[in-house]
Amino acid sequence: METKRPTVPAAEEILGLYHPVLDHGFVALIDYMGSDDSIERAARVSYGYGTRKRSQTRGLIRYLRRHLHTTPSEMVELKFHCAMPIFVARQWVRHRTASINEYSGRYSLMPLLFYRPDWRQVAPQTEANRQGREAAAVSEEIYRLALERWEEARAAAAEAYEWLLAEDVARELARIDLPLSTYTQWYWKIDLHNLIHFLTLRVHRHAQWEIQQYGRAMAGMLKRVAPLSYEAWIDYEVCGSRFSHGELETLRRLLVVRDGRIGARADIALGSAELAELGLSPREVRELLEKLEPAERPDFELDLEAFVTAEEFEARLSGAVPTELG
């Protein structure tokens, strides 16, 4: 039966297909409601459809995003099916603006799948802040020893889980010592405005690498559902920056505006003392310098050949259920 609701061919092409993330995880776009046109119609409260030029729709969406008029974007929703390690899920669930239904270890058997980081992702603690890791990996020897300890702990946890189940201990208790590397999954439905907020934080280079990979996959799916909103998000939030009063005063002292033209003031450089007078702390100065560095424009285009069917992932997950109870 032909649908009367708005559809997007690029989104329909990947609907229900599963994009692998990490070693056992995935993201799938299960459903969506609305498109860029839906945002325009909501903003104009218009019943007309298909009568506007694409350039007009693009201009309005960019204006709304630029000036933080966000409610029209809430009229578009995306629903995802995702599988991720529990430690990633705990970061993810901090975004309390989505509807979530997670896999239940009380009701169902937990597939014994554990995240195994690649060597390149096992790095020392960063000295720049209290969270995150350095760019360079640890030595191969440290990585080998880390894997040995991880695998030993996971094997013991899996063995205990299977033993408790075999002894008919309730599943809600049998699961309690499974590690944070264990994979869970959920359905996650969110409106476009809050998805953009989530992605802005989670594709950022300061986010944990593992959750960045999920953010990148979901950004590629957003690009297919609402390409004009995606473009505005990249321009204004991923590659753009907000400036504080002190930062703007810094720029005003370095620049001159005359006859509608912007130029650099000659022989002016602001040191730490002058910047402190403008209310900028040393950290704010570092952040301002980061904002002014050239930024590479990311492209979250999805590789269609990487997608697999729901049945393939279902086979992987069911095959990891404890064998004597599977």
Q: What pLDDT digit, counting tens, does each position of 300-312 carry?
A: 999 999 999 999 9
pLDDT value at residue 326: 45
Catalytic residue of the set 41, 171, 175, 202: 202
- CA separation for the pair 84, 185 (Å, rounded): 6
Distance CA(26)–CA(312), nearest Å, equals: 11
Residue that is written with structure tokens 């002014």 in the block: 292
Segments in the chain forming alpha helices (H): 9-14, 36-44, 54-66, 86-92, 140-166, 171-174, 192-202, 209-225, 227-233, 245-254, 272-277, 282-292, 310-319
- Which residues, including other chains, have CB under 8 Å from residue 100's CB and lie 6 or more apart? 93, 186, 187, 188, 189
Fold of the CATH domain 9-110+181-240+298-325? Gyrase A; domain 2 (3.30.1360)
Q: Which residue has the higher pLDDT, 278 or 99?
A: 99
Q: Residue 76's pLDDT is what?
A: 97
Say if residue 131's pLDDT is above 90: no
**Catalytic residue status for 202:** yes
Residues of the chain with CATH 3.30.1360.170: 9-110+181-240+298-325
List 258's β-bridge partners, or say none.
Answer: 261
Instruction: Determine the average pLDDT of the residues in 87-96.
Output: 94
Closest CA to 81 of 179, 10, 14: 14
Q: Give me the count of residues in the chain.
A: 326
pLDDT tens for residues 146-191?
999 999 999 999 999 999 999 999 999 999 999 999 999 999 999 9
State yes or no: pLDDT of 317 exceeds 50: yes
